């Protein structure tokens, strides 16, 4: 049985192609799976910039409320504290605070979903 | 589609034609390096092991050294030992002969009476062996004879978005033609192991994938360590990867969409063709060495932030979808895959281009790791108290 993640990998280029060449929208972010809570910036964003990506053929725009470096993630939805955060259609971490839509998502606001407090290094 | 290679006396197909000057112990490593520098077509490597190790570690050392000698890119091997080490040339020669009937010679530094005498003797042996090697000629072979090793290192977010999925396309194409593709690095499937396990050819293979992940985490817990204290690396994080799970979900794309047919231990040759997972640490130097020891003729190395590593026996083809990295580290990077990120090419089209480049490399085109004659010789062998 093929996993959804492999399928997503195969479809990614199609998504990019469709947006750039057919829809004509300026795409500057990638949402890998429709259930994902985060998109990946493919340009450097400043506060107030608009992240534009495709979700199932629909162009979605999210206003960045802080700067996000190229290839980093931003929230495409509000995420409550202690909630699973999804990318690739899978859980990549758990929020450690409330995350507002348009925020930079990284170590400061999500952590590995594995409870790993018996050692506290690095 | 065909690739080009040299048929060895043991029937396997190599895409390079090296004479390997192989130190059985660390004390012989520098002597071997000097010899390889004197003979055009000879290669050597740094072996830090072979002495001062318990039996379990000696076995791990032998698995890798024997595997490297048996790799089909090697025409023949000259073992160089010191003379007092536990991993002696006679033991090594006996094990190598169980794996391959390719040309094999042994020289012991203490018996020859020092470095200079050893160099003289091995240079003469190597020149004769090279006359044999250079009498071989390239022939066409089906991709079913190809074993590709797929590595990722220095990852950033572009690795999981583009370069690893493109490697997955290449892997699928080779397997569709009856060939073999091997990926590894157990720490870097943790968080995504359930996906690979579901995609295994049998429940036993799937269970094995889950078991090696539990084993790795348990071993670290025994010494009060956590995998996540070293993963993701600082560079991964700077490149936009936040958690180990996110890194792993990107990493497993390089295995494509085919079922995993076998899980092999570090440096072991698989018994099946198709998609193979090797249980190795995530340390790139080690996992590249192990895959070459298992018989991979070529390594494709997917990176985001860039990486210079090579291998003395197998070409290492570096690909990245981070255009800035391709430009900035151009002397280390072979292919720029960023056209996929820009929407100018599909994954499939880029996978075709990478496969074409693999064929070109088999025909003799040099990778960046080979073109400078820098003599990349990185070799790392796992230990019982291991790298992670």
Nearest to A92 among B169, B249, B345 (CB): B249
Q: In whole numbers, what is the pLDDT of chain A averaged over residues? A: 80
**Residues of chain B whose pLDDT is less than 70?**
none
Contacting A residues, span 22-41, partner chain B, CB-CB under 8 Å: 27, 30, 32, 40-41
Measure in Å the smallest separation between the Cα of A87 and chain B Cα atoms. 7
In this predicted model, what pLDDT tens digit does every residue of A64-87 receive, in sequence order?
999 999 999 999 999 999 999 999
Closest CA to B283 of B266, B263, B261: B266
Measure in Å the smallest separation between the Cα of B359 and chain A Cα atoms. 23
- Cβ of A13 within 8 Å of Cβ of B161? The answer is no
Flag whether pLDDT at A22 surpasses 90. Answer: no
Using a CB-CB cut-off of 8 Å, the residues of chain B touching A13 are 162, 340, 343, 345-348, 350
Flag whether pLDDT at A122 surpasses 50. Answer: no
Nearest to B346 among A6, A14, A40 (CB): A14
Flag whether pLDDT at A6 surpasses 80. Answer: no
Flag whether pLDDT at A13 surpasses 80. Answer: no
Using a CB-CB cut-off of 8 Å, the residues of chain B touching A122 are 228-230
Structure tokens at A57: 């053929």
For residues A9 and B348, the answer to whether their CB atoms sit within 8 Å is no
**A13, A23, A40, A73, best to mutate vs chain B, most B CBs in 10 Å:** A13
Q: Sorting pLDDT into bands at 50, 70 and 90, what band is A10? A: very low
Q: Is A88 on the interface with B (CB under 8 A)?
A: yes
In this predicted model, what pLDDT tens digit does every residue of B344-383 receive, in sequence order?
999 999 999 999 999 999 999 999 999 988 888 999 999 9
CA distance B137 to A8: 43
CA distance B66 to A118: 40
- Residue A25's pLDDT is 65
Whole-model pTM: value is 0.91
- Residue A91's pLDDT is 93
Complete edge-to-edge strand list for the sheet that includes strand A84-87: A84-87, A90-95, A110-111
- Residue A121's pLDDT is 34
CA distance B36 to B376: 12
Gyration radius of chain B's alpha carbons = 20
* CA dist list (Å): B151 to B75, B269, B277: 25, 17, 11
- Residue B110's pLDDT is 98
- Residue A24's pLDDT is 53
- Residue B375's pLDDT is 84
* CA dist list (Å): B103 to B19, B72, B130, B252, B293: 9, 12, 11, 38, 17
3-state percent breakdown (helix, strand, coil) of chain B, nearest 5: 45, 20, 35
CA closest to A26 among chain B residues = B342
- Cβ of A106 within 8 Å of Cβ of B243? The answer is no
Percent of chain A predicted with pLDDT > 70: 73
- Residue B242's pLDDT is 95
- Residue A103's pLDDT is 98
Q: Is A49 on the interface with B (CB under 8 A)?
A: no
* CA dist list (Å): A40 to A30, A72, B174: 5, 6, 30
pLDDT (average), residues A89-95: 94
Q: Is B157 on the interface with A (CB under 8 A)?
A: yes
Q: How many of the other CB atoms lie within 10 Å of CB of B298?
A: 24
């Amino acid at each position: 049985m093929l996993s959804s993640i492999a399928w997503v990998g195969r479809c990614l280029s199609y998504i990019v192609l469709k947006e750039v060449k057919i829809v004509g929208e300026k795409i500057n972010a990638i949402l890998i799976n429709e259930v994902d809570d985060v998109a990946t910036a493919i340009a450097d964003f400043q506060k107030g910039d608009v992240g534009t990506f495709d979700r199932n053929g629909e162009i979605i725009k999210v206003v960045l409320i802080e700067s996000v470096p190229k290839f980093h993630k931003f929230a495409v939805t509000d995420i409550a504290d202690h909630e699973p955060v999804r990318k690739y259609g899978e859980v990549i971490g758990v929020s450690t605070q409330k995350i507002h839509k348009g925020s930079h998502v990284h170590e400061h606001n999500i952590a590995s979903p594995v409870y790993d407090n018996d050692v506290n290094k690095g | 589609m065909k690739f080009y290679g040299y048929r060895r006396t043991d029937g396997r197909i190599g895409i390079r034609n090296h004479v390997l000057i192989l130190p059985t112990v660390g004390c012989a490593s520098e002597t071997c390096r000097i010899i390889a520098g004197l003979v055009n077509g000879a290669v050597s490597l740094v072996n830090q092991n072979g002495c001062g190790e318990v039996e379990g570690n000696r076995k791990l050392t032998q698995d890798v050294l024997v595997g490297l000698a048996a790799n089909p890119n090697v025409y023949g091997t000259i073992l160089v030992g010191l003379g007092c080490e536990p991993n002696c040339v006679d033991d090594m020669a006996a094990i190598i002969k169980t794996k391959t009937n390719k040309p094999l010679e042994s020289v012991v530094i203490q018996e020859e009476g020092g470095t200079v005498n050893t160099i003289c003797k091995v240079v003469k042996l190597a020149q004769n062996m090279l006359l044999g090697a250079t009498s071989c000629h390239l022939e066409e072979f089906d991709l079913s004879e190809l074993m590709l090793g797929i590595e990722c290192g220095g990852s950033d977010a572009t690795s999981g978005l583009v370069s690893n999925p493109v490697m997955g396309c290449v892997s699928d194409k080779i397997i569709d033609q009856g060939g073999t593709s091997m990926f590894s690095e157990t720490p870097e499937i943790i968080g995504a192991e359930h996906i690979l396990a579901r995609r295994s050819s049998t429940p036993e293979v799937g269970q094995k994938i889950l078991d090696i992940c539990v084993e790795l985490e348990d071993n670290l817990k025994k010494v009060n360590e956590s995998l996540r204290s070293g993963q993701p690396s600082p560079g991964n994080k700077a490149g936009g990867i936040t958690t180990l799970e996110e890194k792993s979900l990107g990493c497993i794309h390089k295995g494509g969409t085919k079922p995993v047919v076998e899980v092999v231990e570090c440096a072991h040759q698989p018994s099946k063709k198709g998609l193979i997972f090797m249980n190795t640490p995530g340390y790139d130097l080690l996992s590249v060495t192990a895959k070459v020891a298992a018989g991979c003729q070529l390594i494709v190395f997917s990176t985001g932030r860039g990486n210079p590593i090579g291998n003395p026996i197998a070409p290492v083809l570096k690909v990245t979808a981070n255009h800035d990295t391709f430009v900035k580290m151009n002397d280390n990077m072979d292919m720029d895959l960023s056209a996929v990120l820009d929407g100018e090419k599909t994954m499939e089209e880029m996978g075709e281009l990478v496969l074409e480049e693999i064929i070109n490399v088999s025909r003799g085109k040099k990778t960046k790791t080979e073109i400078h004659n820098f003599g990349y010789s990185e070799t790392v062998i796992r230990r019982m108290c291991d790298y992670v």
